[in-house]
C-alpha cells in the first residue's frame, strides 16, 4: 500500500526536524565546552598575573630595603 503524499511529506518533515534538533544540541554542547575551556584559561591567567604581581612587589620591597640600609 502506498503512502499518501501528505503522509510522506510529514515523515520527511519530522526526520528533518530531528536532524536539525540534533545539530543544535551538538552546537550548544561544543559552545559550552569552549566557554568552559576559556573560563579555565582565564582563571589560570589571572592566578599567574597575581603571582607575578606578588613576586614583583616582593622584589621591589627587597631592593627598597637594601637601598634604605645603605
Q: What would the pLDDT profile of 32-65 be if each residue is shown by its tens digit?
A: 999 999 999 999 999 999 999 999 998 887 766 6
DSSP tag of 4: P
The predicted pLDDT at position 44 comes to 98
Identify the three-state secondary structure at position 6.
helix
Q: What pTM was computed for the model?
A: 0.59
Question: In the chain, pLDDT over 90 holds for what percent of residues?
Answer: 70
- Alpha carbons 25 and 15: distance in angstroms, whole number: 16
Q: Which three cell numbers, joined as nine digits, stand for 2?
A: 502506498
Task: Give residue limits of the domains in the chain.
Answer: 29-70
Q: What would the pLDDT profile of 1-39 be if each residue is shown by its tens digit?
A: 577 888 999 999 999 999 999 999 999 999 999 999 999
Spatial neighbors of 11 by CB under 8 A, at least 6 apart, are: 3
Per the listing, cell 540534533 goes with 22
Amino acid at each position: 500500500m502506498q503512502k499518501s503524499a501528505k503522509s510522506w511529506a510529514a515523515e520527511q518533515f519530522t526526520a528533518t526536524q530531528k536532524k536539525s534538533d540534533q545539530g543544535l544540541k551538538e552546537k550548544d554542547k561544543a559552545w559550552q565546552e569552549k566557554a568552559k575551556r576559556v573560563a579555565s584559561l582565564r582563571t589560570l591567567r589571572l592566578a599567574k598575573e597575581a603571582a607575578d604581581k606578588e613576586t614583583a612587589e616582593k622584589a621591589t620591597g627587597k631592593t627598597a630595603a637594601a637601598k634604605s640600609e645603605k
